């Protein structure tokens, strides 16, 4: 059985206010379809973060609809779970009807966690039965309980589709700025929880990577969604699953219309034809200008060459000195609670609740009394 593992589509994503919809349409509706046809794919797994927001735009929904319609036209089975960026309730709309077209979208597990079990589906090939288990994004504390509630035959071939932050002692997860990881690692799940599954198709982290064993794997996002991802090699992950214990994994590079990259140097050098002709001037660019003298109208001048310039920085002795002073002044002027609230918001993209704020005040007051 040949399976395509996708994740973190983030349809509707904007990078520095620039819409990535056309890039996403190219990857999903052209490249993905070519990969499926060229590699005899029979099953597609999509491990969460279909959209970039729980309330996606009409254009985003239209693109996902177009993508599912194309998949359905290839007569393959598709298994989808919502991620932390998705609304599980909205994602599961019409899921029972879609099953008639071999598109399976997991339903929310939020209402009765104590008795919840993973949705599962059986497939068969020349080697026997394969069980596909779907686990939508959950609080980490509920993951083991739900797996324990589910009857899993270790002698059969089992695949789990999940969207979680999985860690393993001795492995360092590759992270990027566009991901939301909870403070203090409270959402971490140890890879050992998934020992009953032959392959774990993960979403959540944007860099393609395995955790612990080769068969617990993040497919990674389909595109680069922040400048912290410029060095990542985005890919399609193909699983060739034969008899139990015999899994091979292949990665096929994703080729976007325009890449995302960083350039740095004096402005005259960046505008030199010898420099810009080496790359695609339509790429999404973060430019850092290193001139010591004042550079006037830098954004306009650079955009005349790099039409998709998304971010402009300056790096010289003056800016470095200013940043150091500004950072020290800002920190010294803020109290402990304000600093923690900013840290929490930065790491989780969520504001502290009133109750959580009261807990932190008690903790801070207790520490200050010592």
Residue whose token pair is 């990535």: 20
Who's near 294: CB < 8 A, 6+ residues apart?
none
Who's near 37: CB < 8 A, 6+ residues apart?
74
Q: Where are the alpha helices (DSSP H) in the chain?
A: 21-26, 32-38, 58-73, 88-91, 95-98, 140-149, 267-270, 273-276, 298-303, 317-333, 336-348, 354-369
Q: What is the mean pLDDT of residues 279-297?
A: 94
Residue 311 pLDDT level (bands cut at 50, 70, 90): very high
The more confident residue out of 330 and 238 is 238
On the question of pLDDT at 18 being above 80, the answer is yes
Count other C-beta atoms under 10 Å from residue 304's C-beta.
11
Residue whose token pair is 């976007």: 256
Name the DSSP letter for residue 141: H
- What is the value of pTM for the model shown? 0.84
Residue 183 pLDDT level (bands cut at 50, 70, 90): very low
Q: How many CA atoms lie within 13 A of 197 on its CB side?
A: 28
Count other C-beta atoms under 10 Å from residue 215's C-beta.
19
What is the separation of C-alpha 314 from the centre of its chain, rounded to a whole number of angstroms? 29
- Which pLDDT score, from 0 to 100, does residue 331 have? 56
Residue whose token pair is 């490249």: 31
Handedness of CA 98, 154, 165, 223 (dihedral sign): negative
Check: CB of residue 7 under 8 Å from CB of residue 49. Answer: yes
- Which pLDDT score, from 0 to 100, does residue 328 have? 46
Q: Is 179 helix (H, G, I), strand (E, B) or coil?
A: coil
- Which pLDDT score, from 0 to 100, does residue 325 have? 47
**CA-to-CA distance for 157 and 136, rounded, in angstroms?**
20
Calculated CA dihedral for residues 253, 255, 261, 267, nearest 10 degrees: 140
- Which pLDDT score, from 0 to 100, does residue 367 have? 72
Q: Is 197 helix (H, G, I), strand (E, B) or coil?
A: coil
Least confident of 4-8, 33-37, 305-309, 328-332: 328-332
Residue 361 pLDDT level (bands cut at 50, 70, 90): confident
DSSP E strand stretches across 219-291 = 235-241, 247-253, 260-265, 284-289
**CA-to-CA distance for 108 and 89, rounded, in angstroms?**
6
Nearest by Cα to 308 from 281, 275, 279: 281
Handedness of CA 14, 25, 237, 70 (dihedral sign): positive
Average pLDDT, the chain: 90
**CA-to-CA distance for 75 and 278, rounded, in angstroms?**
42
**CA-to-CA distance for 290 and 311, rounded, in angstroms?**
14
- Which pLDDT score, from 0 to 100, does residue 343 have? 73
pLDDT digits (tens, 9 = 90+) for 157-176: 999 999 999 999 888 889 88
Q: What is the mean pLDDT of residues 351-362?
A: 82
On the question of pLDDT at 351 being above 90, the answer is no
The more confident residue out of 256 and 324 is 256
On the question of pLDDT at 59 being above 60, the answer is yes
On the question of pLDDT at 322 being above 80, the answer is no
pLDDT digits (tens, 9 = 90+) for 93-106: 999 999 999 999 99
Check: CB of residue 256 under 8 Å from CB of residue 53. Answer: no
Q: What is the mean pLDDT of residues 216-242?
A: 97
What is the separation of C-alpha 201 from the centre of its chain, rounded to a whole number of angstroms? 13
- Which pLDDT score, from 0 to 100, does residue 348 have? 56
pLDDT digits (tens, 9 = 90+) for 91-150: 999 999 999 999 999 998 866 677 789 999 999 999 999 999 999 999 888 999 999 999
C-alpha triplet 112, 347, 209: angle, nearest 5°: 80
Q: Is 308 helix (H, G, I), strand (E, B) or coil?
A: coil
Per-residue CA distances from 352 to 53, 68, 141, 165 (Å): 20, 37, 20, 21
2-253 is classed CATH 3.60.21.10? yes
- Which pLDDT score, from 0 to 100, does residue 184 have? 44
Per domain, the residue ranges of the chain are 2-253, 260-318
Q: Where are the alpha helices (DSSP H) in 55-131?
A: 58-73, 88-91, 95-98
**CA-to-CA distance for 219 and 131, rounded, in angstroms?**
20
- Which pLDDT score, from 0 to 100, does residue 28 have? 98
**CA-to-CA distance for 107 and 204, rounded, in angstroms?**
18
27, burial (CB in 10 Å: exposed 0-12, middle 13-18, buried 19+) = buried
């Amino acid at each position: 059985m040949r399976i395509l593992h996708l994740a973190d589509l983030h349809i509707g994503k904007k990078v520095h206010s620039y819409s990535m919809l056309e890039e996403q349409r190219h990857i999903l509706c052209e490249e993905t379809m070519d990969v499926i046809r060229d590699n005899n794919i029979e099953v597609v797994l999509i491990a969460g973060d279909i959209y970039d927001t729980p309330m996606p735009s009409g254009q985003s929904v239209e693109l996902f609809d177009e993508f599912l319609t194309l998949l359905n036209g290839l007569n393959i089975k598709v298994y989808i779970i919502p991620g932390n960026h998705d609304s599980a309730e909205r994602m599961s709309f019409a899921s029972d009807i879609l099953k008639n077209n071999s598109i399976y979208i997991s339903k929310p597990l939020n209402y009765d966690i104590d008795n919840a079990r993973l949705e599962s589906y059986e497939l068969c090939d020349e080697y026997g039965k394969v069980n596909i288990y779907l686990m939508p994004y959950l609080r980490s504390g509920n993951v083991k309980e739900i797996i324990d509630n589910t009857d899993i035959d270790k002698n059969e071939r089992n695949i789990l589709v999940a969207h979680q932050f999985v860690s393993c002692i001795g492995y360092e997860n590759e992270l990027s700025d566009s991901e939301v990881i909870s403070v203090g690692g409270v959402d971490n799940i140890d890879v050992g929880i998934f020992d009953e599954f032959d392959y774990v198709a993960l979403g959540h982290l944007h860099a393609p990577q395995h955790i612990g064993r080769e068969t617990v794997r993040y497919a990674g996002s389909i595109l680069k969604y922040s400048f912290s991802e410029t060095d990542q090699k985005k890919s399609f992950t193909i699983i060739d699953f034969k008899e139990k214990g015999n899994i091979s994994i292949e990665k096929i590079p994703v080729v976007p219309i325009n890449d995302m990259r960083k350039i740095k140097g004096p402005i005259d050098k960046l505008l030199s034809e010898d420099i810009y002709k080496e790359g695609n001037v339509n790429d999404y660019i973060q430019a850092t200008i290193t001139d010591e003298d004042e550079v006037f109208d830098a954004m306009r001048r650079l955009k005349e060459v790099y039409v998709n310039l998304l971010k402009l920085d300056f790096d010289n002795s003056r800016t470095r000195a200013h940043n150091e002073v500004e950072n020290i002044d800002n920190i010294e002027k803020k109290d402990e609670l304000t600093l923690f609230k900013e840290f929490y918001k930065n790491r989780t993209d969520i504001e502290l609740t009133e109750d959580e704020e009261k807990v932190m005040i008690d903790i801070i007051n207790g520490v200050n009394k010592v």
